[in-house]
Structure 1
Amino acid sequence: MTTIDYERLYINGAWTAPESAKRIAVHSPTTEGLIGSVPEGTERDIDNAVAAARRAFDDPTGWAAWAPARRGEVLEQFAAALEARGAETARRVTIQNGMPIWLAMNFEAGFPAMLVRYYAGLVAAGLEERRQGMLGKQSLVLREPIGVVAAIVPWNVPQAITFLKLAPALAAGCTIVLKPAPETVLDAFLMAEAALEAGLPPGVINVVPAGREVGAYLVEHPGIDKVSFTGSSAAGRSIARTCGDLLRPVTLELGGKSAAIVLDDTDLSDLMESFFASTLLNNGQICWLGTRVLAPRSKYNTIVDTIAGLASSLQIGDPLDESTQIGPLVSQRQRDRVESYIEKGKSDGGRLVVGGGRPSDRDKGWFVEPTIFADVDRNATIAQEEIFGPVLAVIPYEDDDDAIAIANNTDYGLGGSVWTSDPERGAAFARRIRSGTVGVNGYVNDPVSPFGGIKSSGLGRELGPEGLSAFQTFKTIYLDEPNS
C-alpha cells in the first residue's frame, strides 16, 4: 500500500519544518508492514509549539478574549471539517492500532465533532454568575480559560480521547500543545488538517508527536498552565509529582481493572452484545473494560460456559473487514505483554477455558485469541493488574456482600458494570461499588456525564460540564453593589 508520510509538524497554524531529521515510523499491526511516517518532535519543537500557544493565548484580542459565540462559529467549522474526514480518520486509526473498523466509525469518526459542538454550546450558555452575598453586597463569579494546555493522549482510542481534552479546552478559550502517542500519529495530522481548514487562529492547536522523554519535557515546560493526560497509572504518577512540585493543575485519566458483576438473577445469554462491548471491545484495549467478571457460585459454571461461548464465537481477522470483532493488538510489545499475563494466569492456577494463544490461520500480525480464565483467585495477578488485551478473569463470589468486597478490592476505580434482570437492584448495587463510573446491563460513556476514576485510576473528570470546568479558572469580583 502507499504509505502516508508527513514532512512537517503542525505548529502556529502552519506546517512547520521540524528541528531534527528524526522520524516516527508507523507499522500495521495486521501486516507488520510500514504504513506511514511523521517527524519525531524534539524539545526544541516543543519550545516552538508552546511559544506559539503562549502568544495565541496572551494576545489581548486573540482566541481567549473572543466572545463564546465567535469561538463557536469557528468551532462549528472545525466540527464540520472533522466530519468530512470522519471515514478517513476511522481508517487511519484502524490501520495503526487494530481497532475494528465498525468501532472506529463509531468512536473515532463521529465522536470528536459531537464533543466540539457540545462544549461550544455549554460555553455559549454563559460564563458569569451574580451571587447575592451574605454580608450585604453582591459578587460576580467569572469562568476564565485556564491558559496553555499540554494534552498527552494514548494510542488505543486516539481521536476520541484527544477530543475529551481539545473540545472543552478550545470552547473555554485555551490554546493547546497536543502530543499524540507514537503508535497513532497519522490521525492526529489529519485532525490538524481539519483545524487549518476550519480557520482556527495560529497557535491555538499545535501537534508535536514524540516519545516519553519529550512528553516529560512538555509536562514541566514553564509555558504550560495545565496538563491533561490519559495513559498508564505509572506515567500518571510521574506527571502528578511534576505538577505537584510546580503547583500546576492536572487531569489524569489512568488505568483500570473494572469488575463486571453478574448477579444471580441474570440470564447473561440475553445480554451478549452489551456484555461483549463492556468487556472485550477494541481487542480488550480500553481502560474501563470489565476484565474481572464476578459470577455467583450458584450459577458459576453456567456463566463461565456462556462467556466461553461468546469468546469462541468472535471473529478474529483484518480490522478493516466490517465483520471482524477482534483485531490485532497495537504492537509486538503489547502482544508480548498480554502473552506474559496469560502465562502468569496459568502458573498461578487459573483454569484456561478458551483461547490463550495466537490464531492458527494468521502468520502475520500481532493477534491474540480472546482468552477466558476460570477459577481465578481474587488476589491473583490477572485479577489485580491491568492487562490491556482480550483476557477475562472469571472470579466466583458467595453472596452480594462478597461480590462488592471483591469489586472494591483493587488499586483501581475507573469503570464497572452490574448485570441483572432487575434494573433497580442493579442501580442499588452500583451505588456500593467504589468507582468513578458504573453501568447497569451495559457501559457507555455519555458526553453529558463526568468520566474519570479514583485511586490509581486518576484525578479529575472529563466529559459533562465537569470536563469544561477542568479547563477554566474561577475569578470572583466583590462588587460595590448592595443585594437586590
Structure 2
Amino acid sequence: MLEYKELYVGGRWAAPASDRRIRVVSPHSEQPLGSTPEATEQDVDRAVEAACRAFDDGPWSRADPAERLAAVQRFAAAYLARQEELAELISTEMGAPLWFSHVGQVGATAMALEAFVEAADGYPWEERRVGSFGSPVVVRREPAGVVGVITPWNVPHFVTLAKLVPALLAGCTVVLKPAPETPASGLVLGEILDEAGLPEGVVSVLPAGREVGEHLVTHPGVDKVAFTGSTAAGRRIAALCGHDLRRVTLELGGKSAAIVLDDADPGEVAQGLQMASLMNSGQACIAQSRILAPRARYAEVVDAIAAMVDGLTVGDPLDMANYIGPMVARRQQERVGSYIELGEQEGARLVVGGPGMPDGLDTGWYVRPTVFADVDNGMRIAREEIFGPVLCVIPYDGEDEAVRIANDSEYGLAGTVWTADVEHGVDVARRVRTGTVGINQYLLDFNSPFGGFKASGIGREFGPEGIDGYVELKSVALPMG
C-alpha cells in the first residue's frame, strides 16, 4: 500500500494541519492503493514561512553556486539509485505504461537532471561589462526568491524537476504542490531531498487540490509561481499573478500538428507517430494529435496510421507488453469518451477505435485508441485538447495550406514535419508558430529551451534558459577610474 502519514514541510517530515486524506486508487483495477495527507492552507502558510526564513536568513540563497550544484548532484545520484522503484510507482499510481515510465517518466527526468547540471556549470552567475561611460559594471543573476511550484499528474517527476532543479540551482527556496492524482509520487521526492541533505526550509512538498494551489499562488510570501497544467488554469494563475506583479512561468496545453509532406513514407511516419502522438497513452501536452496529410496521399497516410493504432496493445500498465494504459481517472476516461462521441457527431469518419472499453477489459479507466479521418480543422476534436489516445487526420492542398492549418490554433507548444528532405523540413518548421518542432521525430532536447507560443504558455524550461526563469538581474555600476 502507498501510505504516507506526514507532509514534507520546510525540509522536515511533519504532521499535517488536518486529518484530511487523499485516496490513491489504481486506474487499472479501480481498487484502493493507499492514501496520503491532503495539505491545507495552514500547511501552505507553514511551508511558505519556512521558505521565506530559509531564503532571507539561511545560507542557501547566499551560497556559492558550486555548493548548490553539489547539492543538486547529490539529489540526482539519490534519484538515479531508485529509478526502477520510481518508474513502477508512477505506473501504479497514474497508469502510465511501464515502458513509458522507464523511458519518458524516470528516464527523461534523469537525463534532464544531467542537462541542468551541465547548464549550471557554465552559467554566467556574475559577469563584468564595460559601461556606457567607460566604467565597469557588474551584472549579477540573483535568486528570484520563494517559488511556488504547481505540477500536474501526467509526468509528475519530469515536470516537477524541470522547475525544482533550476530554482534550487539559482538559490531559490521552493514550496511544491503536486497534483492530488499523484500524491505519493510527489512525497517520495521528499525522501530523496532528505537524502541530498538540503538546508532546513529550502523545499516543502504538499499534495493538495486546486483551492490550496490558489492559496499558494496568492500567498504574499511567494515571489514567483511556476505552473504546468491546463490553459484554463494557467489563465487563472496568470491573472492572479498579474494583480500582484508576481513573476510567473506557465507551461500549458497543446494541440500540436504533425505536417506530413508529400515525399514522406507513410509507413515510417506512422511508426514515428506511435511515440510522438501516443506517448503516455496520449496524456501529453506535446502529443502530435493533429496529423496533416497531403490530399494526393491522404488515403495512404490514413491507412498507415490506422494500421499502427489498430496494432497497439491496451491493458495493465505494469505489463511491459502493453503500449497503452488507462486514463488517470474516471473523469478523464469520460472526457476522452465524450470527445470520441463528439467526433462522430461532427461528421468525422471513424477509422479505428470508437466509444466504449477496449476488447477484453471490463474494469479500469480505459478508452479505445481512436483515429478520425476527414477531419476539418474547425471541428472541436481538432481545436480542443483531448488529452487521450485520439488522433485527427486532416487533409491539405499544398504546403502553404499545411502551414496555415498548423498555425490555425490557439496553441503553439510543439509540432513535427515529416519529409525525405530534412533541410526542406527545417524550412517548413521555421514557418510554424510553435515553441518546439521535430523533423521526422519528436523528442525534447534537454539542452534547449522548451515552452509555448500563444495560449501554450509563458516562459521557457530546460537549457540555460530554464535557469533564467528563476533569477533576477542586478547591475552594479562601479566608480569611474
- Normalising by the smaller structure, the TM-score range is over 0.9
Q: Which residue of 2 aligns with 1:97?
A: 94
Which moves more between the two structures, 286-295 or 66-75?
66-75
Match of 1:302 among 300, 305, 308: 300
User: 1:378 and 1:121 mapped to 2: Cα distance?
Assistant: 41
Q: 1:389-404 alignment to 2 at 5 Å? A: 389-404=388-403
Q: Which residue of 2 aligns with 1:183?
A: 181
**Offset at 1:481?**
4.1
**Offset at 1:69?**
1.5
Matched, 1:85 2:82: yes
TM-score (norm 2): 0.98
Aligned residues: 479
Matched, 1:70 2:70: no
Q: Which residue of 1 aligns with 2:17?
A: 19
Q: Which residue of 2 aligns with 1:342?
A: 340
Q: Secondary structure at the match of 1:282?
A: helix
- Contact 2:116/2:462, CA 8 A, preserved across alignment: no
User: 1:475 and 1:238 mapped to 2: Cα distance?
Assistant: 30
What's the RMSD between the two structures over aligned residues? 1.1
Q: Which residue of 2 aligns with 1:416?
A: 415
- Contact 1:370/1:390, CA 8 A, preserved across alignment: yes
Q: Which amino acid in structure 2 is aligned with residue 219 of structure 1?
A: V
CA 1:393–1:271 in structure 2 vs 1: closer, same or farther (change >3 Å)? Answer: closer
Q: Secondary structure at the match of 2:479?
A: strand
Q: Which residue of 2 aligns with 1:284?
A: 282
Which moves more between the two structures, 126-135 or 388-397?
126-135
Q: 1:156-175 alignment to 2 at 5 Å? A: 156-175=154-173
Matched, 1:34 2:35: no
User: 1:95 and 1:27 mapped to 2: Cα distance?
Assistant: 9
**Offset at 1:72?**
1.9
Q: Which amino acid in structure 1 is aligned with residue 403 of structure 2?
A: I
Which moves more between the two structures, 84-93 or 252-261?
84-93
Q: Secondary structure at the match of 1:141?
A: strand
User: 1:212 and 1:342 mapped to 2: Cα distance?
Assistant: 27
Q: 1:105-254 alignment to 2 at 5 Å? A: 105-125=102-122, 126-254=124-252
Q: Secondary structure at the match of 2:434?
A: coil
User: 1:32 and 1:397 mapped to 2: Cα distance?
Assistant: 42
Q: Which residue of 1 aligns with 2:448?
A: 449
**Offset at 1:469?**
0.3
**Offset at 1:198?**
1.4
TM-score (norm 1): 0.97
User: 1:87 and 1:116 mapped to 2: Cα distance?
Assistant: 17
- Contact 1:80/1:113, CA 8 A, preserved across alignment: no
Q: Secondary structure at the match of 2:478?
A: strand
Q: Which residue of 2 aligns with 1:377?
A: 376
- Contact 2:65/2:169, CA 8 A, preserved across alignment: yes
Which moves more between the two structures, 270-279 or 14-23?
270-279
User: 1:458 and 1:134 mapped to 2: Cα distance?
Assistant: 36
**Offset at 1:132?**
1.2
Which moves more between the two structures, 81-90 or 121-130?
121-130
Q: Secondary structure at the match of 1:144?
A: strand
User: 2:159 and 2:268 mapped to 1: Cα distance?
Assistant: 31
Structure 1 gap ranges (5+): none
Q: Which amino acid in structure 2 is aligned with residue 105 of structure 1?
A: H
Q: Secondary structure at the match of 1:280?
A: helix
Q: Which amino acid in structure 1 is aligned with residue 67 of structure 2?
A: R
Matched, 1:8 2:2: no
Q: Which amino acid in structure 2 is aligned with residue 154 of structure 1?
A: P
Q: Which amino acid in structure 2 is aligned with residue 108 of structure 1?
A: Q
User: 2:407 and 2:288 mapped to 1: Cα distance?
Assistant: 13
Per-residue CA deviations over 1:410-467 (Å, capped at 9, x if unaligned) read: 1110011111111011100000001111111011111111001111111111111111
- Contact 2:271/2:308, CA 8 A, preserved across alignment: no
Structure 2 gap ranges (5+): none
Per-residue CA deviations over 1:138-167 (Å, capped at 9, x if unaligned) read: 211000010110000000011000011011
Q: Which amino acid in structure 2 is aligned with residue 129 of structure 1?
A: E
Q: Which amino acid in structure 2 is aligned with residue 448 of structure 1?
A: N
User: 2:61 and 2:266 mapped to 1: Cα distance?
Assistant: 50
Per-residue CA deviations over 1:51-108 (Å, capped at 9, x if unaligned) read: 111111112x511111111122222111111111211111111011111111111223
**Offset at 1:271?**
3.9
- Contact 2:128/2:137, CA 8 A, preserved across alignment: yes
- Contact 1:82/1:112, CA 8 A, preserved across alignment: no
User: 2:118 and 2:301 mapped to 1: Cα distance?
Assistant: 44
Deviating runs (4+, > 6 A) in structure 1?
none
- Contact 1:253/1:459, CA 8 A, preserved across alignment: yes
Q: Secondary structure at the match of 2:371?
A: strand
- Contact 1:36/1:186, CA 8 A, preserved across alignment: no
Q: Which amino acid in structure 2 is aligned with residue 369 of structure 1?
A: R
Which moves more between the two structures, 408-417 or 271-280?
271-280
User: 1:449 and 1:131 mapped to 2: Cα distance?
Assistant: 26
- Contact 2:452/2:458, CA 8 A, preserved across alignment: yes
User: 2:430 and 2:324 mapped to 1: Cα distance?
Assistant: 32
Which moves more between the two structures, 243-252 or 263-272?
263-272
Q: Which residue of 2 aligns with 1:474?
A: 473
- Contact 2:38/2:208, CA 8 A, preserved across alignment: yes
Q: Which amino acid in structure 2 is aligned with residue 289 of structure 1?
A: A
Q: Which amino acid in structure 2 is aligned with residue 46 of structure 1?
A: V
**Offset at 1:202?**
1.2
Q: Which amino acid in structure 2 is aligned with residue 116 of structure 1?
A: L
**Offset at 1:14?**
1.4
